[in-house]
Structure 1
Amino acid sequence: MERQKILIVEDDADISALLVKIMEGAGYQVRQAFSGTEALFCMERELPGCVLLDLMLPGMTGEEVLEQIRQEQKKEMPVLILSAKVSVQDKVKLLRLGADDYITKPFDPEEVIARVEAAMRRYTKEAQNMEAEQEVFRYKNLSLYPQSRKVEVSGIELPLTMHEYDILYLLIQNPQKVYSREHLYEQVWKGGYYGEDNTVNVHVSNLRKKIQKADKEESYIKTVWGIGFKLE
């Protein structure tokens, strides 16, 4: 497994060397920058997994570097501030600028590692959630979002019941497949199907009406007589 990359932005050579030792000892790849300009240049060449950013830098300040990262370059990675400043006002300002955490100098090596790991876990989880949310099934003017269980037709969100959504979710995954009433019932209601049960028909009818109300120009659910339903 490739080691995650950390960019340390610290103009004090001794502190920078200490941070390199700490982070490499924790299994990270480390790159150093000794000014804000050098840090931004490094990030243009290779995006790190996390940034440890000192505030008191020559030239550009840490605050200015943070603003560049978040507001102008819109880079998404954890940025942890290193500073001897401890006032609440300073911390609040930096958090509002886009910092993810704040490590006060002098620092404990274990605290640095723990805060970096926690920040990177949060970003990994958020990235996974975003990736999952981006999954979408589309059919004609209909869009179904599995992560949020949201369905839209021509941009209008449909107020579907749980079972209506589950039926549509099955149909849209394989639009050419005909799903029998028995199969739909067993998958959606998780029980045995009895031929006289009209439950599936009622829910499909309600689902069809809701979709057609949002898009009167298209037909979406086709009844295949004697078998079941499919998208059309």
Structure 2
Amino acid sequence: MYWLGGNMTKILILEDDDFIRQQLAGILQEKGYSVVEAASVGQFNKIYEQEEATIDVFLLDVYLPDGNGFDVCRKIREHGSQIIIFLTSCDDEDSIIKGLDCGGDDYVVKPFRVAELVSRIMANVRRISGGTDIYKDGTLTVDFRNKSVTHADKQICVSPTEFHVLEILINNKGLIVRRDTFFQKMWDRYGTFVEDNTLTVTVSRLKTKLGNREDGRAYIETIRGIGYRWKIN
């Protein structure tokens, strides 16, 4: 089971396709999540009024018979900081940016693999539940306290800026981190200015230094025009 703040994680699925919604609900329940379902914005509003404080994660379809997921997302953000993931058939850049701009934490494009969605949910839960001083991914080890990186027991030399970028990516593993988020976080936390081109070069160098996992997959994925994501298994 997966726990958030000491309680079983509760997920609300807003999806008008009965087959997708019911199948997804059943799979998530088998994995230990508590699930509630809504097939329309009207149904969502009734559930939300009664159970808002108990819901940890919202899975929102974008296009619904009586509204849209973007407006629902804004409503949720006005009242709380729960996790919001869009389930959308729209994989164009404008729709993705709109979803993130209105407060979404992540998005999954239909048709999606359930394993991928579950990984995204878990990544978000871990992100807001806090992390540890040591992160390990196969043969890669990142020590946040000592700001060191090793791969296959070999020390990797990274600059302070590269480590800051790496830290932001790992703390949001599995999630898309927008380019402007890097600028905000690095300015606020470290008091240093990082321009657009510097970020591009820094990520490129990180990719080269880290190499690939044993299965050949890269650690960092570039989301064209939006940002970057630390890929998880």
Q: TM-score of the superposition, structure 1-length normalised?
A: 0.51
Aligned partners of 2:95, 2:63: CA distance in 1, in Å?
13
Rg (Cα) greater in structure: 1
Partners of 2:42 and 2:126 lie apart in 1 by: 28
Q: Name the amino acid aligned to 1:46.
A: E
How much does 1:89 deviate?
1.2
d(CA) in 2 for partners of 1:38, 1:27: 24
- Say which structure is richer in strand: 2
Kindly indicate whether the alpha-carbon contact (under 8 Å) linking 1:51 and 1:80 is maintained by their aligned counterparts in 2.
yes
Deviation sequence 1:97-130 (CA, Å, 0-9, x none)? 000000000010100100011112222239xxxx
Counterpart for residue 162 of structure 2: none
Matched, 1:60 2:67: yes
Please name the residue that 1:89 is paired with.
Answer: 94
For structure 1, which runs of at least 5 residues remain unmatched after alignment?
Answer: 127-232
| CA offsets 1:141-199 (integer angstroms, 9 cap, x no match) | xxxxxxxxxxxxxxxxxxxxxxxxxxxxxxxxxxxxxxxxxxxxxxxxxxxxxxxxxxx
Q: Matched residues, percent identical?
A: 33
The answer for the alignment partner of 2:9 in structure 1 is 4
Aligned counterparts of 2:129 and 2:50: Cα–Cα separation in 1: 21
Unaligned 5+ runs, structure 2: 1-5, 132-233
2: distance between equivalents of 1:116 and 1:22? 13
Answer whether contact 1:22 1:113 (CA < 8 A) is retained.
no
TM-score, normalised with respect to structure 2: 0.51
Q: In the alignment, does 2:30 pair up with 1:35?
A: no
Deviating more after overlay: 99-108 vs 42-51: 42-51
CA RMSD in angstroms, aligned pairs only: 1.6
Letter in 2 for 1:30: V
3-state SS in 2 of match to 1:31 = strand
Task: Give yes or no for the alignment of 1:13 onto 2:28.
Answer: no
Distance 2:69 2:56 in 1: 18
Counterparts of 1:80 and 1:9, CA distance in 2: 10
Once the 2 structures are TM-superposed, how far is the Cα of residue 22 of structure 1 from its aligned partner?
1.9
Amino acid of the residue matched to residue 94 of structure 2?
A: Q
Aligned partner of 2:127 in structure 1 is: 122
